[in-house]
Amino acid sequence: MATISDPPERGFRLSQLIFDTRYRSMTIQVVAMVLIGLLLSWLISNTIHNLEALGKDFNFGFLSQPAGYDINQQLIDYNNQMTHGRAALVGILNTLLVAVLGCALATVLGVIAGVLRLSNNWVVSRLTAVYVEGFRNVPLLLWIVLIFALMTESMPSPRDFRGEDGSSMLLGESVAITNRGVYIPNVVFSRSLGGNEIAAPEPEAPAAAATPGTNMAGTYGASRIATGGAGVQTGQNDTAAGSGSASGDGAAGGAEVGEVIPTSSFWDWLLIITVLIAGGIGAKFLGKRAARIQEATGKRPMTLPLQIAAILVPLIVVLVGLGASLDKPELGGFNFDGGVHLRNSLIALWLALSLYTGAFIAEIVRGGILAISNGQTEAAYALGLRPGTTMNLVILPQALRVIIPPLISQFLNLTKNSSLAIAVGYMDVRSTLGGITINQTGRELEGMLLLGLFYLVLSLLISGVMNVYNSSVKLKER
C-alpha cells in the first residue's frame, strides 16, 4: 500500500509582502511610517539649517529673561520685572479661567435653550430659535467686539456712583458695574495659609515729595491686581485725591497700624477646593448607600440632609478656621478699591464665548432629546410622572449618550476660540507667550511650539475627562 505525504511548505518569499493579503497591509504601514519619518527628518534638518543661516539657535532660555511688560488681568502675583515664563503662566491661567467659566455658562444656556426650543409654547420656542440662529450664524469675533463696546459705552463710569443721585451698586452695595469693568466682593482670610501682612506705618515721605506741587507719593502707573486681598488698591493715586482709605491713617489698605491685613493665597483656595471635592465624594457615597438599601428593602432612606451636611459642614469649618470675610469694593479717589475687578475684556470674552457656544449646545441637546423615542414619554405619562419629572428622570439620562460626544467638541472649540481674546486686549496665553514674548525675544519657533503644546495638552485633558464622564453615564447592558 502506497502512502502519500503532504507536499513540503514553500519558504517565505519577498513577493508575499505585496501579493499576499496577510502581509500587504503591514507592508503599506511600514512604508508609510518610513516616508513620514523621512519627511519629518527633512523638515527638522531644513529648519536647523535656516536657523543657523539666521544666526539663531534652538533653546528655551528666553523664558528666564525679564518680561518687561504688564498684564492687566492676573490670578497670581506678577510685575514687569518677572520672567517671560511667569508671564506665560499668567496667560495660561487667564486662558483656563475664561475656558472654565465659558464651558460652565455655555452648558447651562445650551441645556435651557435646547429644552425650551421644544416647548409647546409658540412664543418661548420662537424666542429660543431667534437666540440660536442669531448667535450661531454671526461670527464670534463680532459678538466679542459688540459686547465689549456695549460694556464700555453704555455703563456708568466710577465717578457716576458719587452723590445721592448717582448710580447705585447692586446686591447690598457690594457689586458695581462700570465702564471699566465689574467690581464684586472678594473672599479674604485673616488666617491665610500663605501668611498675612501686618499693617505698618508708612515711612516718612522725602523732603522733595513733601514740597507742594512735587508730591510723588502714591501708586502712579501700578497695575491693578484683580484678585488681591483687602489691601489691594487701584492704579489711581487715591492719596492725592484726598481719600483716607489708602494711607490717610498711615496704614496699608485702610487697616490700623498693627492690624492683620486679610488676604488670600493659592493654598487657601486649594484647601477649600479639596474639602469641596471630599464633601462631594462623601455625598455620592451616601447616595450609593441609599440606592443599595432601596434595592434590598424597597425603601429609600432620607439622605438629602446628610448629603448637604457632608458638603457644607466641612466647608464652613474650614472657612471659620481661615477667618474668612468679604472685602467689598469701595469707591476711592478715581476708582473702586478692594474686591475683585473683572475687566470689560474678560466679561465680553466670557459672555460672547458662552452665548455663541451655548447656541450650538442648544441644538445638540434638542437633537439628543428628539433621538429618544416618543414611546418613552408616553410610558412615563402612563405611570403618572409629571412632564418635568419625565424630562429629568427618563428623557435626559438617555439623551446624554447622544449629547456628550458632540458636547466634547463644543468645549474644545470654546477653549481654542478663547484665543480671540487679543481683539479686546484680554491677556491670555496667546497674547503673552504667543504675542508680546515672541515679539520681544524673536523666539517665534519655540514660542509657537510651546503655545501649540499647551492647547494640545489642554484639549486632550478636556477630551479625556469628558470621555470618562461619558463612560460613567452610558447605558450599561446586563
Would you list the domain boundaries of the chain?
A: 84-159+343-473
155's grid cell: 455703563
CA distance 69 to 113: 42
Higher pLDDT, 152 or 222: 152
CA separation, residue 50 to residues 41, 54, 364, 428 (Å):
14, 6, 47, 30
DSSP symbols for 82-137: SBHHHHHHHHHHHHHHHHHHHHHHHHHHHHHHHHHTT-S-HHHHHHHHHHHHHHHT
C-alpha cell at 457: 495638552
pLDDT tens-digit series, residues 302-317:
888 999 999 999 999 9
Mean pLDDT of 253-279: 82
Task: Grade residue 9 by pLDDT with cuts at 50, 70 and 90.
Answer: low
Which superfamily does CATH assign the domain made up of 84-159+343-473 to?
Answer: MetI-like (1.10.3720.10)
Q: Phi and psi of 324, rounded to 5°?
A: -70, 145
The Cα–Cα gap between 321 and 315 comes to 10
| Confidence grade of residue 135 (pLDDT, cut at 50, 70, 90) | very high
pLDDT in tens, 161-191: 887 777 777 877 788 888 888 898 888 888 8
In our burial notation (b when 16+ CB lie closer than 10 A, e otherwise), range 247-270 reads beeebbbbbeeebbbbbbbeebee
d(CA 231, CA 123): 50
Range ranked top by mean pLDDT from 9-18, 58-67, 247-256, 355-364: 355-364
Indicate the range of 35-39, 218-222, 263-267 predicted with least confidence. 218-222
Q: Which amino acid is at 54?
A: L
Count other C-beta atoms under 10 Å from residue 21's C-beta: 7
Q: Residue 389's pLDDT band (boundaries 50, 70, 90)?
A: confident
68-100 pLDDT tens trace? 898 888 888 898 899 999 999 999 999 999 999
Residue 450 in this model has a pLDDT that exceeds 60: yes
DSSP-based three-state secondary structure for 298: coil
Q: What percent of the chain has pLDDT over 70?
A: 86
User: Does the pLDDT of residue 478 top 90, yes or no?
Assistant: no
* pLDDT above 90 (res 394): no
pLDDT digits (tens, 9 = 90+) for 223-243: 444 444 444 444 444 333 333
